[in-house]
Every structure is written in structure tokens, then in C-alpha cells.
Structure 1
Amino acid sequence: MTFLQNNIALVVAALMSGGMLLWPLLRRSGNEIDTLVAVQLINYKDALVLDVREGSEYNAGHVPNSKHIPADKLEERLHELEKFKSKPVILIHRSGVNATGKAGSILRKKEFAHVHNLQGGIDAWRQANLPIVKK
């Protein structure tokens, strides 16, 4: 106990430092994944990459083999995704615009078991120098 009393400033600094390191992890939602995890899910779990951006954004560059369904068309095109219900689904959006929140909610309500948002969207994919296909 005397150690704590004698070194209170050190203890407080250590706690604050640890809290600052953990803050980004606590702040993001549990279904967000980074590009490394996304690539692992694609390569080892045969994940579906679902791009929910607008058509012009998708055509400007997208993840290879991704399926494109704009977020506002998702409900009417859900039948196209039925065979992926038990597989991981990675939602791709434009950085800063999280349409995946609505898209993820729709998929979860329709019993898709493993829905993930790519943290940082397509911009994070590009920044990681991962392959991009342009139409």
C-alpha cells in the first residue's frame, strides 16, 4: 500500500497510458475488422465481400471478386445472398460514410451469422496496398 501512496503520480500515469492505448479498441464496434482480418476471412473462410457503395464508386475501384449491391437496394436483392448466410460477409463502404450500419442490420435481421464492417472502408483497403479492380 505504501508503494501506491509513494508513487501515486506514476500509478495514475500508467493507468491513463493504458486507457489511452485501449480506447480505440473499446470505441469501435465489435463487428468491425481491419484489412488483415478481412484478407484472412477471404482466404481461409471463403468470405463474401459485399460492396454497398454506389455504382460509380464501385466502378472506380473495388475489391476483386466482390459482389456489388448498393445499400439502398439491399433489401430488394437479398435473395441473391441467401447462399452466403452461414459464411462471413465483409461489408465495404466509402471511408467516412458508414452505410454498412444499415446494411449490417438488414443482414443480421435476415439471420446472416457473421457480418463484419471493413474498418476504414475501401480507403483502408487501398492504403494497405491490397488489390483493386476497376471497371
Structure 2
Amino acid sequence: MQMYLYTGADRAQDVTRLALGVAGMNLPVCIAYFGPVTPQHHLALLADALPIDFIPVRLPGLGRPRSNPQADTLTTETTTALLRQMIAGGSYRLFVLDNVREALARRLLTVEDLHHLVRAAPADTQIAMT
């Protein structure tokens, strides 16, 4: 497994180039975008033309309204478990956790949650995070 972490001002362009490079070789890519998404999102537009699955990840407080704490926790745990299953399934050569820094900054995900996601990746899957 290779892991990429993009933190600079050009991270959107860097992730787009990486996704285009992998998808351009006709290898499957999944982009899990943390937060609200518009139909004009630069990565969502690529999903129509290339083998890219674009999945909006809406967590309580990040694209989804907050509810009671137990429901919010259950939603976050369920979402994280589904992402972990998708990564572990080995269907994708590149799995991008785009804008995951927002979920971490808002304490919707923990570093341990992120470690579980990364450790789920098979050896031939690349993980990219922004």
C-alpha cells in the first residue's frame, strides 16, 4: 500500500492529477469527499467520463445537520465502517479520502478512525488524503 498526504494550497489540483493518472490507465478509483458537494465539483465531473466512483460523505456537522449525540455517533460509526469495507474490498487501485482534514478538524473523525481506514487497504491499493 502506498499513501499520499496532500496539504498544500494546490492539493485539489494534485489529487485531480493523481486520480486522472490512475483512471486514465483504466484502473478503478474511488473518491470519498467529506462534506457537501455541488454537481459542479471538479472531481465529481470526472466520474462521468472515467472509471471513478465519487461518493459524498456527509457526517453530522459536515454536510448533514446534527441530531442527538447518540444518533450522530451511530451515523459516523456506520459511515466509517462502510468506508472501511469499501477500502478493504480491493476493488479500487486508488482510494481518495478528500477533505478528510475537515472531519478531523471538527472532531467528527479521530486519528484512530483514520488509521483503521488506512490499515484496511490491500497491498495494491493506494490511499490519498487531503
TM-score normalised according to structure 2 size: 0.46
Larger Rg: 1
Structure with more relative contact order (C-alpha pairs < 8 Å, separation 6 or more): 2
More helix by share: 1
